[in-house]
Amino acid sequence: MAPRKRTANLARTGVLPRRLEADATPNRERMPFSRNMHSSLAHQIGRDIVGGVYPPGTLLPNEVDMCTRFAVSRTTLREAYSVLNAKALITARPKVGTRVRPKSDWNMLDPDVLAWHLQTVPTRDFIADLYTLRQIVEPAAAALAATARKRQTIERIAAAYADMERFKDGGGDLVDADLRFHLAILEATGNYFIGALGGLIHAALLGAFELSWEGAARIPDVPLRQHYEVYEAIRDGNPEQAHERMSVLLRDSIRDVRESLRKRDAAMARSTRRARSTAGKRHRSSAAS
């Protein structure tokens, strides 16, 4: 899938915030025209909070400054704050202001909060925690799906896998196909609480694609085959095999993501060293002259 088309698709899911356009006035950011402007604003401020621009315990700038920065009305800002308050990121008190809540209060299972972590600078610990939860839930869900062995579920998993295979080299929405594959397995459990974790799976898949699968353009043969093997075990009604194969798929996925994080950190370190070296040379040259 072309990067521009893919970005548009992800923006429609509500997981990626709309791009903010710079205003002609310095230090101001214009929100895009939208009937849901407060949602776009909530995404931007939420990303800033999760990314550490506004650390836990700090007060957000006052309403006048925030409205000026984003060129929005007080009504829009307050609606955005209402969204963030529902996710337990902020709390407002009269005559005190709006304060970022402790990280332990944040609703980490909220799809937006998960996505904001992955879109800022995901850490190894955060990724590991996310996949630990997936390892607890998804293999058990695959085993339950194999036990139930419902024709409708098997057909949905098969259709999602067929799209993954069809889009493996690009030309289609691979993220959506992979998501449908995993969601069909969660839904097959018939457990509404497990099904509600779909947002977590969505955020984790987006993060994995962004970090390790060439920007979601294509999927390597090994993970594609692993998805088929999970489907095959469910289709054949083998819960033990379904559990094991899903465990292996997730284990290898976290390994790939960790390797991508290692490469990212190494590249950032090299860039920092080059910048310091260049600055040092300029300083010595200036001193010599």
- The answer to whether the CB of 234 falls within 8 A of the CB of 154 is yes
Give bridge partners of residue 90 from the DSSP assignment.
100
* 3 state SS of 132: helix
pLDDT at residue 100 in the model: 97
Structure tokens at 97: 């202001």
pTM of model > 0.75: no
Place of tokens 């609606």: 79
Q: How many domains are there within the chain?
A: 2
pLDDT at residue 89 in the model: 97
Residue 287 has pLDDT above 80, yes or no: no
In the DSSP assignment, the letter for residue 214 is: G
31 and 161 housed in the same domain: no
Tell me if 23 is assigned to some domain.
yes
**Average pLDDT value for residue range 114-143:** 85
Note down the domain range covering 202. 121-268
Q: What is the pLDDT of residues 248-276, one digit of tens each?
A: 999 998 887 777 778 777 877 888 888 77
96 and 164 housed in the same domain: no
CATH number at residue 229: 1.20.120.530
Q: Give CA separation, 173 vs 10, 99, 112, 177, 221, in Å.
A: 10, 39, 20, 6, 17
Residue 8 has pLDDT above 60, yes or no: no
- The answer to whether the CB of 142 falls within 8 A of the CB of 242 is yes
SS3 of 53-99: the string is: CCCCCCECCCHHHHHHHHCCCHHHHHHHHHHHHHCCCEEEECCCEEE
The C-alpha angle 16, 21, 24, rounded to 5 degrees, equals 165
As a whole number of angstroms, the distance between CA 232 and CA 154 comes to 9
Structure tokens at 264: 């990212």
Which of 175, 47, 60, 173 lies closest to 114 in space, CA to CA?
47
Q: Give CA separation, 3 vs 93, 171, 230, in Å.
A: 43, 11, 29
Stronger pLDDT, 48 or 171, i.e. the higher one: 48
Question: pLDDT grade, residue 281 (50/70/90)?
Answer: low
Residue 79 has pLDDT above 90, yes or no: yes
Share of the chain above pLDDT 70, in %: 80
Which of 66, 69, 87, 85 lies closest to 77 in space, CA to CA?
66
Tell me if 274 is assigned to some domain.
no
Domain end among 74, 105, 136 = 105
200 and 150 housed in the same domain: yes
pLDDT at residue 66 in the model: 95
In the DSSP assignment, the letter for residue 200 is: H
- Whole-number mean pLDDT of the chain? 82
Domain end among 77, 105, 133 = 105
Q: What is the pLDDT of residues 195-243, one digit of tens each?
A: 878 877 877 777 666 666 544 567 889 999 999 999 999 999 999 999 9
As a whole number of angstroms, the distance between CA 207 and CA 118 comes to 6
Tell me if 88 is assigned to some domain.
yes
